[in-house]
Chains A and B, each alone.
Chain A
Amino acid sequence: MEQDRISELPDEILHHILSFMATKFAVQTSILSTRWRHLWKFISTIHFDSFPYHPFCSIDYSFVDGTLEQHKAPQLHEFLVSTTIRGDLYTKSPISFPIFDLPPSFYAQHYSQSLKQISLGCAHLNPTLSFEGFSSLKELRLWRCKLSDEVVQEIVLKCKLLESFTIDKCRILKYVRIFGRSDMRLKHFTFVWRPQQSPLMVEVDAPSLVSLKFCGHLSRLCLGELPCLAEAKLFHDSSAIDVGFVREILDHKLAHLQLLGVDY
């Protein structure tokens, strides 16, 4: 009796349960029975976590494309891909990380309108020409991704609800500009330098910014008026710091801060 009742659970509930699982596990449930064969395709979160990174062999990321291709839910709220790196490998730089290309379907309308949270490791972001921005996106975290200055700008301009943006050791960036509309919602911005990267400018001018975290050459950080900024954590990554410069930021730009951490 009990078993009959539970199998009465409507598909939507099962989709819901599967959405809370790591996607790898959700896909595995396709083997349970013919009813479960396609249930996973209706998950509302895609979550590839902790794929082990091997230094000498590249990862076959075709499952990410395959999953997006087969995914059928009208909406997707979260998309997360992350790679784990063993601590001892992490410290040996430079390591070239294998990068995977996000398929064009990722920028398609039904995703771009429903995604609220995106977290990507080692991905190549290259939006299609018709990309109109992720209109529901609130949180974006990019770690060791490959993207151009133009794509950063496009994200900032087109993702109108974006509140939290992290750019962590991403490659090929030269001049990062976080600035745009006066109605920008961005509250939290984190930028972490890629040590082996050639000099790079980071300009932040976001009217609603509350917290800023920056790791890199402080002299490359250019701040606009940040009237809401309450918290700044600045980490300088080289011994040659220009004390006068730091004093200038402290005196002029960040005088109203409640919390400031500077480390060098």
Chain B
Amino acid sequence: MKHIISSVRIMIFFTILCGLVYPLAMTGLAQVFFKEKANGSLLSKGGEYIGSELLSQKFEKPGYFWPRPSAVTYNPLPSGGTNLGPTSEALKVLAMDRRLKLKESHPGSGEPPQHLVFASASGLDPHINMDSALYQVQRISASRSLNPDDIMNLIKKKLKSRQLGFLGEETVNVLELNLALDGI
């Protein structure tokens, strides 16, 4: 009996300490020191929020860079991947279909890079790799009547190298790139 009472009281103590004081204090600190990041790294255009730098959104118009395929059609509620394994017939069909469509909309650009063929883990991957960005240059330059070299330069400018020089992979943020495209 004594231990039951102690259990209840200690549970209440830690619920208040770790479940209220700690997250509230951390939110306070975060809102003071990293306001933008703590609130979702939002990007705006003309005074209106148009999305988060960290979350992929749907792009299918020929004048924009396209993101990785998404198992949740870029709807963050909820996030997730296909969970299809390498021997899945469904995945094989999906990939073949995507390759075909990419080749159709990118004539003369060759085999599409696998980042554009396979869906990301979160369904919200905001990045593509350099190859995937370069693959789309022809299409965008035709659609926007821009010089391919200008788009190339834009990609190079937006390319993020490995963090601290060695962590992770080189990435290009699709939404940032498209915002910059609109700005040209």
Q: Do A and B come together as binding partners?
A: no
Please report B residues at the A interface, Cβ cutoff 8 Å. Answer: none
Please report A residues at the B interface, Cβ cutoff 8 Å. Answer: none
